[in-house]
Structure 1
Amino acid sequence: MGIVGVLLVGAFGAAGAVLYDDLYSPSSFVRRYLDLLSTGNAAEALTVPGVAVDSAALQNSGLPADASEALLRRAALAPLTHPEITSATAEDDGTTTVTVSYDAGPHSGTTAFRVERAGWVGVAPTWRFATSPLAAIELTVRGATQFAVNGFEVDTRQVSPDRADADPLEPVALLVFSPGLYSISVDTPIASTPGVAVLSDTPLAKIPVDVQAQPTEKFTAAVQEQVESFLSTCATQQVLQPTGCPFGLVVQNRLASTPTWSIAQQPTVTLVPDGAHWRIEKVPAVAHITVDIRSIFDGSVRTLDEAVPFSLDGTVTILPDGTASIQVGDGS
């Protein structure tokens, strides 16, 4: 009977250890958090003790106090698979460091969490994150105010504390879950980029990301059309130096007829990034003038019929309403 009693006690002890590890240990606490992320339950993951942080806690951690919570939602989460607890180490300060491995899309990663005792429910301990598992992406998008994170559409002016007055080149801070994979891309009629993958794997880390958008063919074609229209309008001015235009002619004699301009060769526009906006690279073009010139010496008249090479450059500014303001210069 005594032997049976010892065996029973041993069995109950083993069962208790398994139950503790599965339900009440720091590892089980972290495992439940990872399960929520793996199934896209962002709202519930935010309610896990120690996850949500206020502005003061963000600032004390060196993160922007006004970081946006726009990405803390199901629509912005990417799949997190094969989460596994690899170690749990009790620290001298009473916390436990729980290290996990996982796959985030095609990337493998590891993250260490600090967990501390939160209290008791009966005889069972409860836990909380001693360090929030959130992190902050500090994102600068050049050439666009609209972007997508894991397919979730965002506008810089929606997540910036300055709203409509946001500086397009000022980084915006976006809170994200750790661990998590965040693919940032631009796909608008004006600009586009391939996706930039960002792996958030360190709690309360600041992750700087700089994305440079490129002009789309459609946008470049629209600017090309506007530049050609501008030059064609310049050519309607019947003067030697069309006002506000990048071409003209200087003669030493008098005019005997009204100058007639045309554009013999339109420029081929190339757009390059210029801060938050775009620049038209210096490019050659050719105008043509026909005009009769009277000599101031002998009064003779000759017809000037020649090509006038010129160059132009310019700037393209994207206005708050999404339209483009094009300024053409003379390429000097």
Structure 2
Amino acid sequence: MNTRNSKPISAARLALRWALAAMVVIVLVLAGTILANRTLFSPQHQVQALQQLLAQGEGAKALGLMQAKVPAGDAVALNGEVLKRTQAGITDFTTDEAQPVEGEDQLRTVTAHYKADGVQKESSYTLRHDGKSWLLFDKWVFAPSTLPTVSIKANTVNEVTVNEQKIPLAAGVSTLPVFYPSILDASFSTKNFAADTRGMVVTKPAKEPVEIALQTKPTKEFIAAINAKVKSYLDKCVSEQVLMPAGCPFAYTTSARVNPATIDWSIAKYPTIEVNYYNGAWVLSPLTTSATLTLTEQDLRTGAKEKKTVKDEYSFTAKLTTSTTEVSVRPVADGEQVAG
């Protein structure tokens, strides 16, 4: 309803208003398109989307996005919970603006920055322009690549733990294809042998596998078991009332007559156990023990008797037969495996 002071709007003015409104809408659409093209449809957005998939353990989707070739090996770290664990220490993930590749108009390089267990790292990705979506938005796809691999080596054992997952070894080695970035923590612990955790951050593809060589060490239980077996062997030796106990390192020679009942061997000091890895096997270093012999000698010419105490050091070696849970000790002088 028109009031007394109102004036009818002319058709020209109404058309102008609609034209201005249409121009505003067009400007907003164009601005939104440009913004979306720079963000949601940018090369760096693809890199961020890839990292989100890795963090969620979506390995199959990540592989599809990357168009990556998976090299031979144990694929346990490429999906699910293990993949998530390789990404747990990756934080503060950001990307730089995509940079052109010299001589390649359709390629862009995106550098990502992040912390791997608190240490600043970076990775680079190459993407290729692949036309337009809906005639408006750029399409960027990852240039085909091959995933990096990690070679995990350990002696003595047939499996190790990688990011809380048991991984079998073949001839002491396992090769794992991995995404990048990834953090891998490898270790193992058995009754007889263990290796401290070694971590590795994979930041880029490489022609040769990144190597994690675990340093195997005998456990305290392993050394204690060997020590008990050597002690048992020596205790058996000193229980014999002879001058040369059979299969034992001890020996005493004399030209005098000796009453066997007076012979008494005892251990003054047991050997120190030292185990080393040599030429593919665990070996026991030469052993030295100190023993005391008391006896009564009778001179064959005069018949006089003399009580003697003789203390000396004796050396011997022993061979080990080991597994991750068992150990046997065979003194070389004896030639028979020590019981127990």
TM-score between both structures, scaled by the size of structure 1: 0.74
Residue in 2 aligned with 1:227? Answer: 230
Specify the code of the residue in structure 2 equivalent to 1:216: T
Alpha-carbon separation, structure 1, partners of 2:132 and 2:247: 78
Preserved contact between residue 143 and residue 273 of structure 1 (Cα < 8 Å): no
Question: Given the alignment, which residue of 132, 136, 140 partners 2:149?
Answer: 136
Residue 31 of structure 1 is matched in structure 2 by 48
Counting aligned pairs with the same residue, the percent is 20
> In structure 2, what is the equivalent of residue 127 of structure 1?
141
Name the residue aligned to 1:163: none
For 1:146 and 1:27, locate their aligned partners in 2 and report how far apart those are by CA, in whole Å.
Answer: 39
- 1:68 corresponds, among 45, 51, 74, to 74
User: Is 1:198 aligned to 2:204, yes or no?
Assistant: no
Once residues 254 and 46 of structure 1 are traced to their aligned partners in structure 2, the CA distance between those partners, rounded to angstroms, is 87
Q: What is the identity, as a one-letter code, of the residue corresponding to 2:93?
A: P
Maintained 8 Å contact 2:284/2:320: yes
Counterparts of 1:43 and 1:295 in 2: how far apart (Å)?
Answer: 91
Alignment of 1:209-248 (within 5 A): 209-236=212-239, 240-245=243-248, 247-248=249-250
Q: How does 1:264-279 map to 2 (within 5 A)?
A: 264-274=268-278, 277-279=281-283
Secondary structure of 2:44's counterpart equals: helix
Which amino acid in structure 1 is aligned with residue 44 of structure 2?
S
Task: State the Cα RMSD in Å.
Answer: 3.5
Q: Is the alpha carbon distance of 1:45 and 1:254 closer, same or farther for their aligned partners in structure 2, counting shifts above 3 Å?
A: farther
Matched residues in 2 for 1:323 and 1:302: separation? Answer: 47
Aligned counterpart in structure 2 of residue 77 of structure 1, from 64, 81, 86:
86
Q: Is the 8 A contact 1:139 1:208 kept in 2?
A: yes
Residue 177 of structure 1 corresponds to 179
Structure 2 unaligned spans of 5+: 1-15, 334-340
Q: Cα distance 1:152–1:276, how it changes in 2: closer, same or farther (>3 A)?
A: farther
Query: What CA distance in whole angstroms lies between the structure 1 residues aligned with 2:230 and 2:216?
Result: 22
| Cα pair 2:109 2:124 within 8 Å, conserved | yes
| Structure 1: tracts of 5 or more residues without a match | 59-65, 161-165
8 A contact 1:295–1:301 mirrored in 2: yes
Query: Does 2:121 correspond to 1:109?
Result: yes
Task: Judge conservation of contact 2:294–2:309 (CA < 8 Å) in 1.
Answer: yes
**Structure 2 CA distance for aligned equivalents of residues 211 and 266 of structure 1:** 32
Count residues with an aligned counterpart: 305
Partner of 2:329: 326
CA deviation after TM superposition for structure 1 residue 201, in Å = 0.7
Distance 1:202-1:255 versus aligned 2 partners, 3 A rule:
farther
